[in-house]
Amino acid sequence: MTILFLLIYVFIGWKFGVWKEFKRLYPTLLFFIIGDLLYQFLLFDYTMWMFHPVGTVDEGLGLNHTLIAIGRMSIQYPVTIAVFLGRMTSEKKQQILSIILWIVIYNMSEFFFNYAGGLTYHNGWNYGWDIAFTLMMFPMLLIHYKNPIVAWLLVIPIVFGLWWIFDVPFSVLK
The C-alpha angle 121, 127, 130, rounded to 5 degrees, equals 95
Q: How does residue 173 score in pLDDT terms, banded at 50, 70 and 90?
A: confident
Domain limits of the chain? Answer: 2-172
Q: What pLDDT score does 174 carry?
A: 78
pLDDT tens for each residue of 11-55: 999 999 999 989 999 999 999 999 999 999 999 989 999 999 999
In the predicted model, what is the mean pLDDT of the chain? 95
Q: Is the pLDDT assigned to residue 113 strictly greater than 90?
A: yes
Q: Is 33 exposed, middle or buried (0-12, 13-18, 19+ CB in 10 A)?
A: middle
Asked if residue 75 lies in contact with residue 9, where contact means CB atoms within 8 angstroms, the answer is yes
Q: 120 pairs with which residues across the strands?
A: 50
pLDDT digits (tens, 9 = 90+) for 146-165: 999 999 999 999 999 999 99
Residue 96 has pLDDT above 90, yes or no: yes
The pLDDT tens digits for 137-149 are 999 999 999 999 9
pTM score of the predicted model? 0.93
